[in-house]
Structure 1
Amino acid sequence: MSLRQKHRLSFCYCNMGTMRRFFGRRRKPPPETYQEPAVVRPNPEEELRSLRRRLVQSFVTSALPSGKEFLPVTEIDKLVNYATIRLVLPEKASTDVIDFVCGHGKTLFLILVVGNEASPNDLLAIMESCRKHSMTDEHLPVDRIPCVGGKLPCHQRVAHHQAWDVFHDKLWAHISFRFFQDQAMFTAPVILKDKFTYELKEGCVLPITWKAQKPHIGHFSTVYEAEIHHAHHQDDRYFGKSLKVALKQLKPLTSEPGYNVETAWNHETSALEEINKLHHKHLIRPLAALRCGPEHYIMFEWADGGSLRELWENQGPEPKDLDPDRIMSVIEEVLGIVSALSTLHGTNNRTKTGNVVRRAADLAGMAAGERLTVPVPHSVKPREGETKDYSPITTPDTSKSPRNVPEIHVRFVEPSDDEVSFRSEDPNRSYVSEESDASSDEHWRHGDLKPENILQFNQSQTNDSRWLGTLKIADLGLAKQHVFATARRKDMTNQKFTTSHYEAPEAVANLHLPRSRRFDIWSIGCVILEFVIIILYGNDGLASFYDQHKIRENPHTDTLYFTVDRNVARVSDIASHWIAEILNDPECNRAGGSALADIVRLVRDRLLVVELPSENMVPSQISRCRADAGELKEKLEAIWGKAIHDESQGGDYLCFRKDRANIAPPAPLQVMKPKRTAAKSRLGDELPKTQPNLV
């Protein structure tokens, strides 16, 4: 190595040493001495204020009571979680307390938060006390008790739930008022599938986000179109969406003697719960019955198609061209209504009238050498592609008379000693009631069948693509209440009663007796006849029929369908005239047969019949009485089956001449015939004066 190279190497070593001494040697500290950067814990007071702001923003305004707010149940889990509670409570809060809040005390915690009166330390102390006393969200809402904050020892002077002992703590002294006041915002009920009756505290907030400004106002109730918040119902068809309902609010009616809204609500709720068990496609199913302190509600799903009356009015003044599919839809839906009525009536077959019918049939069978039984009609099979839908539905309730339908005012006539309403001239004939006092089984009748109480559900709710959708009977459970409304309510100024256009003769002649299931058969006969008039002659034809009420001799006792003289009823000349004219219509009066003609004859011969079964009747006499729902269902099934067969063969049983433009409705009857004292069982057949079974 040369001298120059040695000098260079020496210079490099000197420079490296200098650099090493100047900068030093960077060494990583050993692992055991490494520490995480210090984390500053947020201020619990600030976290509490942040949680309160988010909570207030989560409230939803309710329409009932108007302007009140409630917290949707889905927001509770979003607001209360482990991380949030760990930051809001002081650092000393134990894991057990945080677990209790997140598991069993979420609502309790949020009620305290919204009140803005409890500090983080207060929240910790109160939630520790709640955990100690097993006070959870399940015990909400809490009644106002005088022993809050230790002001009054409980002992036996103030009885309350054991978990409410938590309120004895002095911590509650300055926050209890807001707690009791605010808890209503957190306890809005969720309408469950498997629960019907809800007992709620006075001042509760319902999860109703909207209700219509114009309700349907009736005598006993007011019905609102409303919507339930999407988090407070369990209808899978409307998951994540608001559910439209009909909310029926019962009126107190303190001016009505003998009427009590609490009793009426209890009766209707019990009836609806029992009828719900029938699970029939054409019977409405209510969603819930709610008692909120002095307020009483019943909730139904909203019928998007309105009532049958509204459907008729929307058909237009002129008749539409006859179409086999439309007529088949009418037959099938009427059959569905009658099937529902048969199911409703058939819950108890051991009534007195049922025994009369069976006894007469058994006697006839023994005379023929065999014992006969009343046949049970088979159920209607759904058409191809149709499924039975038992989903809940709803109903508007209104007592207003529909447009152009005559109002019938009935004057009550007390029978004298020698003349009892519908008393039989045969001393061996006594009439019995279908009201079974001896049997513990219950049976149901509607009592107020009319187009306003038959609702239409369109495809969106029933998956039914036909123009008529699905028709369902509404206002179930009101039979007892309806008896009071029509047979007991008296106008004290003129001593008159009011009855429906569709009620049977016994509603006028025997007001003081209960009604039978066959009362509904007369009503459905009136509805069916008017449906045929709509099909053949349109709204103008139905208006012409309604206009016939002007020629009634006595508007206090007569309707378009029957007339009463000395408490003896018969089918009216108006109904007889219109039925005869309809049967002479080109569509009905043809050799090949007509479905509409067969339906009208069924109405004439088996539905608009005054006579009812009585004791000691033989089968031939019973066959002349008004039909029951089972028989009506069988006969409609026969018409339906014939229509199906004829349609498959390319026949014209459903309709022959589609164009109805030049077919005029029946000419109105000009003068009523003089009243007679003999009763008519059906059109054209005189019967001895008798006392029909009116109950």
Structure 2
Amino acid sequence: MEDPAAIVQLIKEGITDEDLPLCRNDDDDNDSEYNVLASVGGNKRFPSSMAWGQGEKVETFLKKQWVVQSPILDKPGWHFVLDPECPLPLTECETEHAKGGMGVVHKAKLHPAHHCLFKGDDETYIAIKEIHRKEDFIREKTNLDIIQRLQNRHLISLLASCERGSAYYLLFPWANGGTLRDFWEEQDANPRTRNLIRWALGQILGLVDGLRALHNRNIRHGDIKPQNILVFEEPKGDHAVTLVLADMGVSKFHKEATDLRKSATITAESTVSYEAPEADEDQRNNKPRPRRYDMWPAGCMFLEFTVWLVYNCAAVEGFYKQRKAQNDPVSQGNFFSRELDQSTEIHPAVTEAIRHLREHPLCKDGTALGDLVTLINDRLLQIKPGDRAEAPELYDRVKTIVDAAAAKPEYLGQEVKQPLPTPGFFSPPGSRKGSSS
């Protein structure tokens, strides 16, 4: 404003930090006082602002005051309602990092003096999901509030939420290891040791435990896939990495079963490759999807995880190409196939992949990975939803595998010192070439 005298007058009128932000006087019956500044709510007025000319300085003050009005996010899990002009207390914010189904995610740093949301240093990043549709925000926030009460380390934690004008923000810890798909790429060259397999089985158990916790609260995730599994790396320890189930944007909160049938679930678009066989018919008939729907994509993801553990990322890609019909441009690489008579079967490529896995020393009969593949085949990748395991059964079955692996190291299979050749099945034309680790 370049007017020190005006500042002196405001101080004489008793202005304090608690009065900010100021706004124009909202007395509609007195136009002459339009340029009188007042605290929000109008309970304190500052008449000296009338002497600032024709309103230009008032307008400048109203805009510039926000430079010093960044909020303090002092209550973890709280929802903060901010003025549309109020800036978030960020010291760094990258441009758009990734698009989710219903929002944009930014990588940012909070000013350490402006939050009490977590313990960390000035270099700790957070993820900010920005949503512009109120109904999408409310739906996701409702699910996240329930999830926070579960306190499960394999479910994403919400640091806080904000609304500012027409924009809504969800603040999460930043996954410094990216997604599970990123992890596979970065760790691809590492040997497949017993420690790695033991860690992977423990993380699968953790993810199933998180899914069980969701289902116990009548929440279906609805979009399980490697891209929605976040990787949090700890600074110390062998395989000190935790996998976390995230992106509840397409999760659905289901009421009691009696209410569930009254109206169909509105289903957001999920990755088609992992969709269950009943997805299209349910959508056409406006039919709600039960929690057992999650068991199919979980089986797809765990099978891909096993392919990566036994072989490599190139094999995961080759497996996808084998599922994607070469003569069908609309094929999405599903784990099932439609026959000419419209019947549905497990995709032949899935059956073939399982056959190859069972021939590998790490995955033969009587090994932990071999038993995991049997579980995936028998209780998850089932065409009829009623034939799939529910989350409690899946948890118990995986825990049995994990406990046996802890008791008998040989159950983890024979360590492969030199990579075995990857079967040609996993290297169809157009795939990356790679050898097993």
TM, length-normalised to structure 1: 0.54
Q: Go from structure 1 to structure 2 and tell me whether the alpha carbon gap of 1:466 and 1:344 turns closer, same or farther (over 3 Å shift).
A: farther
1:535 to 287, 299, 309: 309
Q: CA deviation at 1:505?
A: 1.2
Cα drift, residue 215 of structure 1: 1.9
**Aligned counterparts of 1:521 and 1:470: Cα–Cα separation in 2:** 21
Aligned partner of 2:244 among 465, 469, 472: 472
Counterpart contact for 1:150–1:170, Cα < 8 Å: no
Measure, in 2, the Cα distance between the counterparts of 1:213 and 1:163. 36
SS of residue paired to 1:321: coil
CA distance in 1, matches of 2:191, 2:39: 69
Distance in 1, matches of 2:427 and 2:44, equals: 79
1:67 aligned residue: none
Identity %: 29
CA–CA distance in structure 1, aligned partners of residues 403 and 195 of structure 2? 14
Give the whole-Å Cα distance in 2 for the aligned partners of 1:595 and 1:290.
45
Which residue of 408, 412, 425 corresponds with 1:654? Answer: 412
SS at 2:411 equivalent: coil
* Aligned-partner Cα distance in 1 for 2:116–2:246: 22
Aligned equivalent of 1:586:
361
C-alpha offsets along residues 46-103 of structure 1, whole Å, 9 cap, x if unaligned?
xxxxxxxxxxxxxxxxxxxxxxxxxxxxxxxxxxxxxxxxxxxxxxxxxxxxxxxxxx
Cα pair distance change 1:453/1:195, threshold 3 Å: closer
Name the counterpart of 2:234: 459
* Aligned-partner Cα distance in 1 for 2:70–2:317: 47
Alignment of 1:238-257 (within 5 A): 238-239=120-121, 241-250=122-131, 252=132
**1:298 counterpart SS class:** strand
> Which residue of 47, 57, 66 maps to 1:170?
47
* One-letter amino acid of the structure 2 residue matched with residue 659 of structure 1: K
Alpha-carbon shift at residue 117 of structure 1 (Å): 5.4
1:603 aligns with 2:376: yes
CA distance in 2, matches of 1:238, 1:669: 44
The alignment partner of 2:406 has SS state of helix
* DSSP 3-state at the match of 2:417: coil
Amino acid at match of 2:207: I
Q: Which whole-Å CA distance do the structure 1 matches of 2:251 and 2:83 have between them?
A: 29
Query: Could you tell me which residue of structure 1 aligns to residue 259 of structure 2?
Result: none
Q: CA deviation at 1:120?
A: 2.8
Deviation at 1:630, TM superposition (A): 0.9
Q: Does 1:329 align with 2:199?
A: yes
Provide the residue aligned with 1:52 in structure 2. Answer: none
- What aligned pairs does 1:175-190 form with structure 2 within 5 A after superposition? 176-190=58-72
Give the CA deviation at 1:209: 1.4
What is the letter of the counterpart of residue 597 of structure 1?
G
What's the CA shift string for 1:293-335, capped at 9, x where partnerless? 122222211111111000111233x6x4331111100010110
Distance 1:191 1:121 in 2: 32
Structure 1 residue 485: deviation in Å?
3.2
Which of 83, 100, 114 is residue 232 of structure 1 equivalent to?
A: 114
Deviation for aligned residue 1:526: 0.8
Equivalent residue, structure 2, for 1:147? 27
How far 1:194 moved relative to its partner?
Answer: 3.5
Residue 154 of structure 2, aligned match among 255, 262, 282: 282
SS at match of 1:223: strand
Is the 8 Å Cα contact of residues 187 and 204 (structure 1) preserved in structure 2?
yes
- The alignment of Structure 1 onto Structure 2 pairs a total of residues equal to 406
| One of 262, 286, 291 as aligned partner of 1:517 | 291
SS of corresponding position for 1:659: coil
How much is the aligned-residue C-alpha RMSD, in angstroms? 3.1
User: Quick one: structure 1 residues 628 and 205, their matched pair in 2 at CA, closer, same or farther if it must change by over 3 Å?
Assistant: same
Q: Secondary structure at the match of 2:150?
A: coil
CA 1:140–1:541: 2 relative to 1, 3 Å? same
The equivalent residue for 1:644 is: 406
CA distance, structure 2, for counterparts of residue 278 and residue 657 of structure 1: 37
Residue matched to 2:258:
none
Instruction: Identify the residue that residue 627 of structure 1 maps to in structure 2.
Output: 389
Please tell me whether the aligned partners of residues 276 and 285 of structure 1 are also in contact (alpha carbons under 8 angstroms). yes
Cα deviation, 1:130-175, whole Å, max 9, x if unaligned, reads 6xxxxx7556434544339964689xxxxx99962322x5323245
What does 1:32-71 correspond to in 2, within 5 Å? none
- Shift of the alpha carbon at 1:612? 2.5
Q: Which among 75, 82, 97 is matched to residue 215 of structure 1?
A: 97
Structure 2 counterpart of 1:343, from 201, 213, 235: 213
Q: 1:192 aligns to what SS in structure 2?
A: coil
Cα 1:119–1:510 change in 2 (3 A) is closer
| AA aligned opposite 1:595 | A
Is the Cα contact below 8 Å between 1:229 and 1:242 reproduced in 2?
no
Instruction: Give matches, 1:257-656, under 5 Å.
Output: 261-316=133-188, 320-347=190-217, 443-460=218-235, 465-467=237-239, 469-480=241-252, 483-486=266-269, 499-511=271-283, 512-551=286-325, 556=330, 559-565=333-339, 568-589=343-364, 593-613=366-386, 625-647=387-409, 652-656=410-414
Q: Residues of 2 paired with 1:522 and 1:556: CA distance?
A: 21
Residues 349-369 of structure 1 show CA distances to partners (whole Å, capped at 9, x for unaligned) of: xxxxxxxxxxxxxxxxxxxxx
CA distance in 1 between counterparts of 2:90 and 2:10 reads: 34
Counterpart amino acid of residue 216 in structure 2? G
Cα deviation for residue 562 of structure 1 reads 0.7
Distance, in Å, in 1 between the alignment partners of 2:110 and 2:7 is 35
The letter for the 2-side match of 1:527 is: M
Tell me the CA shift for residue 178 of structure 1.
Answer: 4.2
Instruction: Structure 2: give runs of 5+ residues left out of the alignment.
Output: 53-57, 254-264, 429-437
